[in-house]
Structure 1
Amino acid sequence: MLFVVGTQAATAQTADTAEAVIQEQAAGNKIKLNALLRPLRQVAGAPEAYYSYCWELGDGSYSFAREPEHIYKDTGTYQVRLFATNNYDDGKKPRSRPRPVKVKTRTLLAANNPSNFFSGKGVLEMKTNCMPLPGEDMLLMLGYRNLQVQAGVSGSIMLLYNEKQFRQSSFEVAEARVYHKERGIGMDSLLAFTHDNVWDNELEAHGGGLFTASVTAGGTSQSRMQLLQVLKQEMSGYQAHRIFRIEDLQQQEERLIFLQINTLPEMIKDTNAVVTIGALFIPDDPAMEMERFNLELQIVASHDPNRMMLRNRRMNYRFTGKNKNLDYKVRFQNTGKGPAKKVVVTVAIPGMVNSSTVELLQSKPECGWCKQVYSGGSCIDTVLYKDSIQFVFNNIYLPGTQQDGIADPDSTMGFVKYRLHFAKGLVKNSFRSSAAIVFDKNEPIYTNKSVGGFKKGWSPGILAGYGFLPGSKPDIGKHNWVVGATLSEYAPYKRYWQWELYVQRYSSYEQLIGRRDGGDTLINGRDYKLAYRERYNKVNVLTVELVPFSIRQNFNSWIAAGAGVLVSAELNRTTARMYRAVVAESTTQLPFVVPDKEEERVASSFGSWRGALFADVQLGRVRVGPVAGLRFLQYTNPGYSQLLLYAGWKF
């Protein structure tokens, strides 16, 4: 029995890591491709598992079809790669090796379907075969095109990745595959290319200096130094970049760069985090504008096309008000065998968010409001509830991934992007949201939970107080004054740590050394009888006190309590040896005290250390603002108790 179980486990492991086997059928220069992939392992409770495909065809073309057909223009050997993604599958993504495909005939009239890579109106766009999952590779396709009137456009493209807001590096570019003689360059080369003869001629005509260029109509006055500053600003939020040189891009021509990227295992483990990869197009011609494209990617624990994303999920509570924006995006994909005519996206609203502030930013399919379009037309509507919002797409056509004739997965995807504002009485706690997506009358599909929250932030504070001993302690000053500083989390609503550092000055106190009754003394040449004489030490102490940790709790906005450990060290102890004499009563006058005389003074620093446990209560604006408190301290070495009345202010 044990042998059978072990054998089954080994078989499952082998199947889980099996490579994708690419197969081809050639007919001249027309190649049909397909792949043998390991069996899917259905995630319990999820929609039906399926593979999505992304083919790199080896000549600068790609396909998302399951079994693409492609016509190569020229003879040669092309390296075909498949990046298959296992959706709703709990196994690993199939590994793939490039397969050489030989083409022996040539044609100048290749009749491939248009790529439809660009969905926007810009010159740059990026797509990936999947969302990043730590430890897996990912294909990033960087597309660029020439929308200018003139032909032969040249310039540079800068790829920006690994945002500095995350301490961990998320991506590593394993390989960049180019098909139109693009090449990697450095920053110096980029700047050199932008300062070409066009700029030099204008400089000479206008008498410009080395770093100033005045361009023709439609251009702007720029300089190499200015360009460098702009690029530094664009790069300031990223840890890494790559620059590609592009040349002679013809009018309406589209090109792709394929980047195989490793998503590093140490990347952010938070599956709600959204990372950005940026791309910049820097033209040589100063009359053309620089353009940027940002690709937002959500880190995932498994491949699921239906997801909720929150871009600004970690905010600074100090600068967050009721008008602070929360931008959500819910992605959905019809994975069925036929088109969907109605899609209902129901999103749960966190309690601290005001649902009536919802603002629709963008949607796909893009359509007008239902109350504004004709009857039966494609439209979107919103239904507001206290704790949720419904976005309803009516009379649309959203193809399914398993539908016949559908090769572009983008056509099966949609999204709704919306904005919300916080309600009054914002609390510094995390907030969660999720979505349920219904295609026509099918069962709902539930997305991940999107978790937002606030950075802890730092709250410095000041503290001043008066301490006294509730009992008698001869060797300790009866009262003292305290002034110092505190450091804690900003406006916490949960238990938090606080650190403190302050100085404490004790009142002077006396330590009797010895006393002798009677005796004679001479004052101003006259003899007197003494009642007694004594020697004592007069002590002044200045201490520094450190609270290495204390735990505190704000019960509401007005009452708080805490407890902790304190370490105290004497900054300075001054001991003066004093002599005092009291003259006895005589027939001529009452007893009087001879002025004290200092015989010796000794100073020391850090001569004594002691610890204490304490607990206190506070009243006031305990999260941010003024407070008053009462603290009880129990010291050791020597042991005694102290009460401290204090006032403070947290900023």
Structure 2
Amino acid sequence: MTSYKPLLLLMLLLCMMGAAQAQVNDTAAAEINPQVDNNQVKFDASLRPLRQIAGAPASFYSYFWEFGDGSYSFEKNPVHIYKDTGDYDVRLYATNNYDDGKKPNTRPRRVRVNNRSMLAENKKPVFFTGEGSLEIKSNQMPKPGEDMVLLIGYRNKSNTAAPISGSVMLLYNEKQFNQNCFDISETRSYHQEKTISLESMMAWLPNSDLIEEQAINSKGIFTVAAGTNTPTADRRQMMQQIKQEMNSFRKHTIWRINNVEKGEEQFMFLTINTLPEMISDTNAVVTISGLFVPDDPSMDMEKFNLEMQVVASHDPNRMMLKNKKLNYRFTGKNRENAYKVQFQNTGKGPAKRVAITVTIPGLLNTASLEVVGMKPECPWCNTTSGTQSCIDTVVTKDSIQFIFNNIYLPGTQQDGVNDPDSTKGYIKYRIRFSKKMHKVPFQSRAAIVFDKNEPIYTNRSTGSFRKGISPGIILAFGSTLGSVPAGMAAQRYSLGFTVSEYAAYKRYFQWELFLRSDPSFEQFAGRRQGGDTIINGTNYKVQYREGYEKIKVASVEVVPVQLRYNLTSFVSAGVGALVSGEISRNITRYERALIANPNGTGTFTLEGETGKQKKSFTTMRGALFADVQLGKVRTGPALGVRLFQYMNPSYQNIMLYASWKF
């Protein structure tokens, strides 16, 4: 056995080295390999091997290159021509799709170019897809703990030949989420863009020479001082628009741009840290907004929203639901839910048919479907004929199928395809709630089929409702069962207040506070037989003297914990604990005497007050209870009966009550 020990140790060492190497490869930076030929550079990269997620489509890398001169590419092996000599810091951001490891780190590689050609022309990727002056793209969807790149593009699309100037404002970290999602770690600009303050941007607004402005406070509230000149309506409106946009976000950054020539497109590159403590819901949709604020008063301010889904892993086929957390109190059957299903052909050839089948939860009404956007843009099939590209829908009670027919959607691995956007598509639609909707989470998922391939399943997009607060009032009458303990009233009235989750579907907690004032009740103190007394100088015989007390109690009762369950919309049951404490106990003592007349002709009674006493917060009692409610138990009026079992002393009490939840 001894001869095998060296071999076993060697095998163990090799395994440890292999595991260490795998760990290094998993976190290693992308290695950029440039091939410089005069001022033309061909780029390649060495990346760690992909680790396929079981059951997912084939894993692959997507690429985003920064060439260090304000240009970029999404190609795998781009060729770039530099117009001038110099040293350029090239960066590659590679995203691992359908891979269960970490994405490669980004490390700049400096490339030296020694030749100059001011006439050099590169094939520009298509960036602007709309008609606006500002657009924003990201190289990937945000994944907590990973960095990402924002590409901010702006252009001069005015009809005049004069250059334009203005400000670009980026708004991020929405206030609707409790924590920050992003942090800008680095900005790379190539056209003398400068970071400016909010006050400086406001000073550049149109007609600023006519306005005397007060200081803008830290909360973003804009005020204008009265002067000899009245601010124009356009300026006031623009200031109000900026204020409204800022109110939805916690942070902003502003850049000053100058002298953008007609038709010119310019770009800024931002490295964004996606914070690890960001939203835990990996299906949440976050928004980063950009504003283009021109100096030219004839131009309108423009806004661009970049909506991104927080992901746990990178998958180009996904489903998004805008406004995933709804307020049930203000949600009715007419409330629309906006969905977007994104898809990408990652194959080696074009797809001619894409079928997207979406499961629809019972809370949503498929008959209310409204398609609001799509890519590729197609007419409806019932308006076309022959082999024309078109889109069709098949709607059932619990599913909707969108079918793109006779289209040409290139594949990412197809020869000659360099623009990843050309391989992507989407369908956007709105759908309303059905009439019978309950306050429960609802999920949708899409199955995407490219031609006759196996379906690709997206994430489950989950919508839910905020708990909300439902206050309520209770009017109650209580009565003690059996013998009444000493010092307590047999009956009582209470006014209560409740707090619970708004319109809970099934199980929920409720807290209650009762103010109780017992009717005055008497308590016998004792009797003494016989005795003599003198009244107005005359001797009388006392047959007996007895003492009693009149008691008035004011109490407060708290239900610190109560678990309720709505069996239906009209029946509810609950169990809980109650703590009762006396705020005050007012005791008035009396003495009553039965006196015989001295001539033996009869008796008469004398009664009088002998003293008072007030006690505060001296008695605490606890009780367990169970109850049943009938009525509109989620919101509205209901009637209930509750049985208490008190301790110290032990007795039972029954309470009949009417409640109303708001």
2:520 aligned with 1:493: no
- Find 1:75's aligned residue among 77, 82, 85: 85
Correspondence 1:397-546 to 2 at 5 A: 397-472=408-483, 473-522=485-534, 527-546=539-558
Stretches of structure 1 that go unaligned for 5 or more consecutive residues are 202-207, 215-219
Matches of 1:522 and 1:445, distance apart in 2:
107
CA contact (8 A) 1:361 1:418 kept: yes
Stretches of structure 2 that go unaligned for 5 or more consecutive residues are 1-10, 213-225
Corresponding residue of 1:217: none
Matches of 2:206 and 2:241, distance apart in 1:
15
Matches of 2:386 and 2:540, distance apart in 1:
121
Corresponding residue of 1:131: 141
Corresponding residue of 1:212: 230
CA, structure 1 residues 524+480, in 2 after alignment: closer, same or farther (shift >3 Å)? farther
CA contact (8 A) 1:212 1:222 kept: no
Corresponding residue of 1:152: 163
Corresponding residue of 2:606: 594
Structure 1 residue 78, shift from structure 2 partner: 1.1
Query: What SS class does the counterpart of residue 451 from structure 1 fall into?
Result: strand
2:662 aligned with 1:644: no
Q: State the one-letter code of the partner of 1:284.
A: D
Matches of 1:196 and 1:104, distance apart in 2:
47
Matches of 2:468 and 2:602, distance apart in 1:
68
Corresponding residue of 2:223: none
Matches of 1:21 and 1:210, distance apart in 2:
64
Matches of 1:119 and 1:279, distance apart in 2:
16
Matches of 1:303 and 1:518, distance apart in 2:
99
CA, structure 1 residues 323+519, in 2 after alignment: closer, same or farther (shift >3 Å)? same
Matches of 1:589 and 1:388, distance apart in 2:
100
Structure 1 residue 227, shift from structure 2 partner: 4.2
Corresponding residue of 2:294: 283
Structure 1 residue 453, shift from structure 2 partner: 1.1
Matches of 1:556 and 1:211, distance apart in 2:
65
Correspondence 1:161-180 to 2 at 5 A: 161-180=172-191
Corresponding residue of 1:302: 313
Correspondence 1:8-47 to 2 at 5 A: 8-47=18-57
Matches of 1:450 and 1:590, distance apart in 2:
93
Correspondence 1:47-66 to 2 at 5 A: 47-66=57-76
Corresponding residue of 2:122: 112
Matches of 1:563 and 1:200, distance apart in 2:
66
- Alpha carbon RMSD of aligned pairs, Å? 1.9
CA contact (8 A) 2:57 2:98 kept: yes
Corresponding residue of 2:246: 235
CA contact (8 A) 1:198 1:285 kept: no
1:508-538 Cα offsets, whole Å, 9 max, x none, are 2333333111234455666544332112232
TM norm structure 1: 0.94
Matches of 1:526 and 1:144, distance apart in 2:
114
Matches of 2:12 and 2:564, distance apart in 1:
54
Range with bigger deviation, 599-608 or 353-362: 599-608
- Find 1:330's aligned residue among 320, 341, 352: 341
CA, structure 1 residues 559+587, in 2 after alignment: closer, same or farther (shift >3 Å)? farther
Matches of 1:424 and 1:228, distance apart in 2:
42
Structure 1 residue 196, shift from structure 2 partner: 5.4
Q: State the one-letter code of the partner of 1:574.
A: N
1:613-633 Cα offsets, whole Å, 9 max, x none, are 111111111111111111111
CA contact (8 A) 2:205 2:235 kept: no
Identity within the alignment, % = 56
- Find 1:222's aligned residue among 235, 258, 261: 235
Matches of 2:23 and 2:510, distance apart in 1:
50
Corresponding residue of 2:98: 88
CA contact (8 A) 1:212 1:221 kept: no
CA, structure 1 residues 211+307, in 2 after alignment: closer, same or farther (shift >3 Å)? farther
Query: What SS class does the counterpart of residue 561 from structure 1 fall into?
Result: strand
Matches of 1:336 and 1:346, distance apart in 2:
20
Q: State the one-letter code of the partner of 2:509.
A: W
Query: What SS class does the counterpart of residue 222 from structure 1 fall into?
Result: helix
CA, structure 1 residues 29+580, in 2 after alignment: closer, same or farther (shift >3 Å)? same
Query: What SS class does the counterpart of residue 469 from structure 1 fall into?
Result: strand
2:274 aligned with 1:256: no
CA contact (8 A) 2:375 2:426 kept: yes
Corresponding residue of 1:350: 361
Structure 1 residue 362, shift from structure 2 partner: 0.4
Matches of 2:396 and 2:356, distance apart in 1:
13
Structure 1 residue 600, shift from structure 2 partner: 1.4
Query: What SS class does the counterpart of residue 382 from structure 2 fall into?
Result: coil
1:25-69 Cα offsets, whole Å, 9 max, x none, are 111111111110000111111111100000011111110000111
